[in-house]
Structure 1
Amino acid sequence: MKHRSLLFIWAALVVIVLVSILSLNRQGFNMIGKNFAESGNVSWGLDEFYTTIGPSELNPIDPTEAKKQITVTENEIEEHRTRYGALSNQLADIQGQYKDLIEEAKNVSNEVLVNALIEERDIKIEDIKMNFKDDTHVEAKIRTEKEQELAKYLHEVKSGAYSLPIAYELKNVDTGEVFSSGDVSVPSIYKKEFNSGKGYLKAHSLPGQNNDEWTYYDYGNSAIHEDNIEAMANPVQSFEGTVIIPKKAVEKGGVLYAQYTDFNRGKYALYTFWLLSTLALIALFTVLKFRKEWVTGTDYDARYGAMKIDIKVIGMLATALILFMYVDSASSSVVNLLQYPRLGRFGSWTVSFILFGVLPTALLAFQIVHATERWKKKGTIEADLKDSYAVQFMQALQTMFLRRSIGSQTFILLIGFFLAGIGFIGMFIHPILFVIYCLCVLFFALPISFIFVRRAAYLNKIIIATEAMATGRLNEEIKIEGKSPLANHARNLNNLREGVRSSMSEQAKSERLKTELITNVSHDLRTPLTSIITYTDLLKDETITPEDRAKYVDILDKKSQRLKTLIEDLFEVSKMASGNLELHRQRVDLTQLLQQALAEHADDIAQSGLDFRTDIPEEMLTAYVDGQRWWRVLDNLIVNAIKYSLPGTRVYVTLRKTGNMAEFIVKNITKYELGENVDELFERFKRADASRHTDGSGLGLAISQSIVDMHGGTMKIELDGDLFKVTVAIPIS
């Protein structure tokens, strides 16, 4: 609170000093060291006297001689003759003017009026005809007009009055003629002598002449041209003598007493005001020096700091403008306030002083200090500029034109509305602008408005459809209307809707597969683990025979191996999914590798009752692969064929070269119904034996698919009823 009070006191002193400085500049030269006779009103009155005394009294124009100087030019004659059009037009106008008047007079049987109107009409018609026949006739009319205007002009010049009570006694140097008014020997506040030493008074015959120079002419709408007036001017006459303003004019009861009193009151009041302003200026540099804590120590500093820099700049300019306008106005009116002190005037001046002087000054000081402090903080101004409305507008403007059609249409609309506002105002100025405005509305504004309304309506439809999509309602498609950017946007939203629907379907499927995965893993791990626990408990019985013990140990070994295989397959799949599996590529003979794989499972094939038919090339078929991983692929596919083929059927194993690819094909008749969804067979833990009674982890095809993909090959499964066919292709070297 203390800081705020000090700031407002400081601001009040600053305003007083500013008003004082500007008033000193304006009134100081007219007040300081000057008396009433040197004031502006007296100086203006004296100038008026010296300008008009010559034409009105000392050196007036002789009307008789002036008339002789009047001239009439051919252009004036022609202008007067054709002022109202050609001869036929003027005659027709006169006939038309009198026709109705004569008819009305006849209707009331007023023969006298009828005859008078006809006579008046005929005189005018004859005068018009003479205008076109005789230049002398027109010249005489023009000369008469000019003589009348000249007489009026000279009368106005001679009857001019003076605003000051001036006494004078002047003698023509050449003729000795004396002109006087009043007594020049009485005490005076102004006195000027004219003589050979100090200079003569030059008396001109036309107002506006001063010191032998033309300064101003005022001939009204006279028919006399400026050149005619100048030609009528008399030679300049020289006068000696005295001109005074009597002192009694400023004494009580005199005609200048009020002005004299006001001048002195205003002068001494301004002296006092300037003295107080000097004391205020001293205080501003001593006891009341400005401190930035008055600003930074207030609650308003943080609030003001949160505002955009654009608003701050505009506010600062507006504050400075208000302060400037107030100081300018107050510096002009302060002399009147001091000359004519009134309680009401002081009250209104005090309110204006506080509202438009003190408050803007305090606010401007606050704004300048705040800006200075922020400028000192590194990076603050840059951050303010980046966050400004102007930068945001420019960025938005650039973004608006990312799609030129939308940006251009919006820009045209803005220009159209702006011009419409100007046109609406302009149609009240001139009728033709109203017609132009109506045409622009019909052929420009209405079509644009129609397009804008349609686009706005379509945009609302898109927004409503988008809101429906956001709530999960993905069944309704947005209607595509036309080929506008909004139509393209609607098309993109429809594509997005389809993508979301597919994504949701895939997500649902993924959740289902995840549930099945957990269930299958739990089952496949629990089955061998349960057997191991069971037979371990049986082995703890010391009464069992050696034959049973050996049998139980054999079962434990098989179940342990199955559990080991399952866990190894899980680790394998995990490595492949995470991308941590590394390949050790080398040149491998695929023919030899397949022959070894078949030989490895020869006993299993013989016991399965299946008829394996192989088609393997005799020559080498080499590829750049990881031999161990590729062995796993061949092994998985052969094992799958042994496990899941219908007993007694044939299994076809083929290795062949196709172009620059090696193809490994296995075909067999399945013992289980697989359905039609081939992709599910690649899923982890997916087995043809849905009851999961057969050995295996269900990861064989998934592991094989990953290995083939890592080698840049392809793996494809085809189903035709119970016919199962898997084809693996890999580039050969």
Structure 2
Amino acid sequence: MKNKLLLLTWAALVTIVLMAALSLNRQGSNIIGKDFSDSDDMKWRLDEFYDVIGPSVLNPIDLEEAKKKITVSDREIEEHRTRYGTLADQLANIHDQYAQRIDDARAASNVLLKDTLIEERDMKLEDIRKNFEEDNHVEAKIRKEKEKVLEGYLNEIANKSYSLHVAYELKNVETGETFSYGDISKPAVYKKKFNANSDYLKASSLPGRYSDWQTPYVNYYEDAHVSDEEMTALSNPVQSFEGIVIVPKTAFEKGGAMYAQYKDFNRGKYGMYAFWTLGLLALIALFTVMKFKKEWVTEPSLVARYAYVKIDVKAMLMLLTVLMLFGFIDRYSSSVMNFFMYQSLGRWGEWVIAFFFGGMLMTALIAFQLVNSIERYKKDGALEADFKDSYMLRFVNALQEVFLKRSIGVQTFILLIGFFLAGIGFVAMFMTGMFFVMYAFCVMFLGLPALYIFMRRSAYLNRIIVATEKMAAGQLSEDIKVQGRSPLADHAKNLNNLREGVRASMTEQAKSERLKTELITNVSHDLRTPLTSIITYTDLLKDETITPEERSKYVDILDKKSQRLKTLIEDLFEVSKMASGNLELHKQRVDLMQLLQQALAEHAEEIADSGLDFRSTLPEDMLVAYVDGQRWWRVLDNLIVNAIKYALPGTRVYLTLRKVGESAEFVVKNITKYELGENVDELFERFKRADTSRHTDGSGLGLAIAQSIVDMHHGNMKIELDGDLFKVTVTVPTK
């Protein structure tokens, strides 16, 4: 817990340093040594002033003159006339709107309301008829609507109020007319002169920010649309002015028009000074009291879990965390000043949450990933092993395997491309007629033939599947029909060969029955030997004339033979369960390296007494597999005991445990005490021992039991002989 707190503290300091550095780079030149008069807010307000001073004061449009310039085109007349449909449609619509209301008024005996509604309806019907009969009628309506729009626009500009309280004195260069507002002799925080040397102030009749009239400036009435060309035609020529414009110092003083903005700017500026100082202190702390320590991010349980993550997933996680961190820093470093200027509990709450999850947590995760990746890939072969175990390599391998049968791979690729292009074409055909024609052509001459071939192949595949199901049910008399030279035809041939293999397997099953008979014979022999001894020595113990020494000797022999009989019976039951499939595995996550170490420790005394030198090679990290721990212990135990009993005294026994691909491999090598011959398969037979005299205490089932347990885990057990060199290799999947 302490390491986690230290890591988060370090991550917080790093995040603060990064934010402070980026915000200083972005905003330092606009804040350090600057006043509100130099701020972007002030510049925006001045730009707004220069934008609207022309239309509102210096060069306004004359309303009456502008009304005379309004034009109405034939297209506008026709559009206005038919906007709501044909004459019949509009008349029917108006009639329907009033019919129910008139009937309700008549039913309520409200004569006044009924007459009023009828009169109102008739007026609208008459107006619609005039729209379709007289162009002048429509033109007058459109002109009146445009006049209202223009009047609203000019009133909007004229009534525009500005909180800047700019003082100015400007003179029209051509007419000499002077315009002034406020006292320009007051002390100023902003001052600008306009003359021939420093350029004149250009005053337009239209605000610059409203020059794009694709959306009309003010659409007071839906029926009135004033275009850019019309507004330009109604405006006055641009006028030039000379003079002076100031923002008085009193605007920034308490009670002034800009005092609130001035105060907010200063609060933000000094807040940024404090934040940059905090960033500097955080940087100093990172190099002194909060130096990064590797143990903060190397907790064994987390490292072990992280080690199982594929290398390509690790790379994507790293990229994601880096992007999230720099996304947070990029966004919030540019808005830190706003948090100081416009403080609120909700804003700071949002900032704290974003700082923790987007800054601290991402920085801590990046540190964890970097350190653990560096530490892991310092080990020889780790990078290569992780790359071989990556999803990307699996995808590449799968892609290669798709083309093991080149025709199937090519057909699959073409099919996928075809579906992709078909989707694009289906959307594109709705765009233009040409696309529709092209799409129809492709469907008829490419899509339909491909669909026919695909359907034939699918039908053939279904027939093969049905035939395979019959084979699985034991019906082995009927061959699968082979059609053509496609990969499916090759598959049908292979299935026919498999059918022949199943028949051969049935022959092998008969052989297995014979082996069962031999097994019963061997079991009888091995059980009879200790049982005969037990009966014999029991009879001897009944003799009351034997000496105590003899009695003790007979009891020891009875105990030894009883244990021998017990071992035989227990092993026999276990082999029987495995053969019948009644043995149930309880798989769990097991560290094979720890299990092997425990097995060696269990037999440490026997190993010491055997005169053998056991040499073990184990992996550096945990080697985990999902196995039944108790059963897998039996495999290791049997192999170790086998080595102790049958290895040549005075020689070395080599034990190796390692990870190979996605499997764990356990190897035992030793020099045998007895000559084994060359038939390796005999060693897996039940009741088979290396010593043909059968005088050891084993059951002869050790390797058979180990083989069965390995098979149940979907592993592999292999015995190799090279003269007297005996080698057992056991592999089991780790997943």
TM, length-normalised to structure 1: 0.54
Quick one: structure 1 residues 225 and 352, their matched pair in 2 at CA, closer, same or farther if it must change by over 3 Å? closer
Quick one: structure 1 residues 481 and 90, their matched pair in 2 at CA, closer, same or farther if it must change by over 3 Å? farther
AA at the equivalent of 1:311: V
Which residue, 224, 227, 235 being the options, matches 1:225?
227
1:332 to partner: Cα distance: 3.0
- Does the alignment pair 1:66 with 2:66? yes
1:35 to partner: Cα distance: 1.1
Aligned to 2:331: 329
Aligned to 2:315: 313
Map 1:98-247; keep pairs closer than 5 Å: 98-208=98-208, 219-221=217-219, 222-247=224-249
1:307 to partner: Cα distance: 2.1
1:130 to partner: Cα distance: 2.5
- Does the alignment pair 1:505 with 2:483? no
Q: Deviations over 1:209-228 (max 9, x none)?
A: 79xx8899851334222211
Quick one: structure 1 residues 13 and 172, their matched pair in 2 at CA, closer, same or farther if it must change by over 3 Å? same
Quick one: structure 1 residues 129 and 177, their matched pair in 2 at CA, closer, same or farther if it must change by over 3 Å? same
AA at the equivalent of 1:331: S
Q: Deviations over 1:164-217 (max 9, x none)?
A: 22222323333333323322222222222233333332221111279xx88998
Aligned to 2:57: 57
2:191–2:246 CA contact under 8 A, matched in 1: yes
2:172–2:178 CA contact under 8 A, matched in 1: yes
Aligned to 1:251: 253
- In structure 2, what is the Cα distance between the partners aligned to 1:168 and 1:134? 52
- In structure 2, what is the Cα distance between the partners aligned to 1:406 and 1:499? 34
2:163–2:258 CA contact under 8 A, matched in 1: no
AA at the equivalent of 2:511: E
- In structure 2, what is the Cα distance between the partners aligned to 1:75 and 1:342? 55
- In structure 2, what is the Cα distance between the partners aligned to 1:505 and 1:162? 105
Identity of aligned residues (%): 51
Aligned to 1:384: 386
Aligned to 2:273: 271
1:331 to partner: Cα distance: 0.7
- In structure 1, what is the Cα distance between the partners aligned to 2:339 and 2:68? 56
AA at the equivalent of 2:180: S
- In structure 1, what is the Cα distance between the partners aligned to 2:227 and 2:214? 14
1:315 to partner: Cα distance: 1.8
Aligned to 1:647: none
Name the SS of the counterpart of 1:56 in structure 2: helix
Quick one: structure 1 residues 239 and 94, their matched pair in 2 at CA, closer, same or farther if it must change by over 3 Å? same
2:152–2:218 CA contact under 8 A, matched in 1: no
AA at the equivalent of 2:259: Y
Name the SS of the counterpart of 1:190 in structure 2: strand
1:30–1:39 CA contact under 8 A, matched in 2: yes
Name the SS of the counterpart of 1:198 in structure 2: coil
Name the SS of the counterpart of 1:255 in structure 2: coil
- In structure 2, what is the Cα distance between the partners aligned to 1:339 and 1:298? 46
1:102 to partner: Cα distance: 3.5
2:214–2:228 CA contact under 8 A, matched in 1: no
AA at the equivalent of 1:220: V
Quick one: structure 1 residues 482 and 362, their matched pair in 2 at CA, closer, same or farther if it must change by over 3 Å? farther
Name the SS of the counterpart of 2:275 in structure 1: helix
AA at the equivalent of 1:389: Y
AA at the equivalent of 1:366: F
Q: Deviations over 1:656-705 (max 9, x none)?
A: xxxxxxxxxxxxxxxxxxxxxxxxxxxxxxxxxxxxxxxxxxxxxxxxxx
Larger Rg: 1
AA at the equivalent of 1:89: D
AA at the equivalent of 2:31: M
AA at the equivalent of 1:184: I
Map 1:482-521; keep pairs closer than 5 Å: 500-509=505-514
Map 1:71-110; keep pairs closer than 5 Å: 71-110=71-110
Aligned to 2:44: 44
Map 1:287-302; keep pairs closer than 5 Å: 300-302=302-304
Name the SS of the counterpart of 2:334 in structure 1: helix
Q: Deviations over 1:281-311 (max 9, x none)?
A: 4665788776767656976445423321133
- In structure 1, what is the Cα distance between the partners aligned to 2:497 and 2:181? 100
Question: Bigger CA drift: 63-72 or 133-142?
Answer: 133-142
2:153–2:217 CA contact under 8 A, matched in 1: yes
AA at the equivalent of 1:47: D
1:173–1:240 CA contact under 8 A, matched in 2: yes
- In structure 2, what is the Cα distance between the partners aligned to 1:515 and 1:355? 70
2:17–2:279 CA contact under 8 A, matched in 1: yes
Quick one: structure 1 residues 291 and 136, their matched pair in 2 at CA, closer, same or farther if it must change by over 3 Å? same
Quick one: structure 1 residues 179 and 499, their matched pair in 2 at CA, closer, same or farther if it must change by over 3 Å? same
AA at the equivalent of 1:88: A
Aligned to 1:364: 366
Quick one: structure 1 residues 38 and 66, their matched pair in 2 at CA, closer, same or farther if it must change by over 3 Å? same
1:139 to partner: Cα distance: 1.5
Question: Bigger CA drift: 259-268 or 47-56?
Answer: 259-268
Q: Deviations over 1:521-555 (max 9, x none)?
A: xxxxxxxxxxxxxxxxxxxxxxxxxxxxxxxxxxx
1:279 to partner: Cα distance: 5.2
Quick one: structure 1 residues 346 and 78, their matched pair in 2 at CA, closer, same or farther if it must change by over 3 Å? closer
Name the SS of the counterpart of 2:237 in structure 1: coil
2:402–2:408 CA contact under 8 A, matched in 1: no
- In structure 1, what is the Cα distance between the partners aligned to 2:159 and 2:29? 35
Q: Deviations over 1:9-61 (max 9, x none)?
A: 55333322210122123322321232111112211111111111111112110
AA at the equivalent of 1:219: Y
1:504 to partner: Cα distance: 2.0
- In structure 2, what is the Cα distance between the partners aligned to 1:216 and 1:167? 34
1:208–1:215 CA contact under 8 A, matched in 2: no
- In structure 1, what is the Cα distance between the partners aligned to 2:278 and 2:519? 92
1:188–1:245 CA contact under 8 A, matched in 2: yes
Name the SS of the counterpart of 1:84 in structure 2: coil
Name the SS of the counterpart of 2:101 in structure 1: helix
Q: Deviations over 1:410-450 (max 9, x none)?
A: x999x99xx9xxxxxxxxxxxxxxxxxxxxxxxxxxxxxxx
Q: Deviations over 1:497-526 (max 9, x none)?
A: 765443221222366589999xxxxxxxxx
Aligned to 2:27: 27
1:207–1:217 CA contact under 8 A, matched in 2: no
Name the SS of the counterpart of 1:168 in structure 2: strand
Quick one: structure 1 residues 2 and 129, their matched pair in 2 at CA, closer, same or farther if it must change by over 3 Å? closer
Question: Bigger CA drift: 156-165 or 12-21?
Answer: 12-21
- In structure 1, what is the Cα distance between the partners aligned to 2:116 and 2:344? 68
- In structure 2, what is the Cα distance between the partners aligned to 1:199 and 1:215? 28
Quick one: structure 1 residues 202 and 475, their matched pair in 2 at CA, closer, same or farther if it must change by over 3 Å? closer
- In structure 1, what is the Cα distance between the partners aligned to 2:116 and 2:355? 73
Quick one: structure 1 residues 496 and 185, their matched pair in 2 at CA, closer, same or farther if it must change by over 3 Å? same
1:13–1:280 CA contact under 8 A, matched in 2: yes
1:257 to partner: Cα distance: 2.4
1:138 to partner: Cα distance: 1.8
- In structure 2, what is the Cα distance between the partners aligned to 1:204 and 1:406? 69
Aligned to 1:13: 13
* Gapped regions of structure 1 (runs ≥ 5): 420-454, 467-473, 518-733
Question: Bigger CA drift: 333-342 or 383-392?
Answer: 333-342
Name the SS of the counterpart of 1:170 in structure 2: strand
Question: How many aligned residue pairs are there?
Answer: 472
- In structure 1, what is the Cα distance between the partners aligned to 2:193 and 2:474? 109
- In structure 2, what is the Cα distance between the partners aligned to 1:478 and 1:348? 75
TM, length-normalised to structure 2: 0.53
- In structure 2, what is the Cα distance between the partners aligned to 1:491 and 1:223? 81
1:234 to partner: Cα distance: 0.9
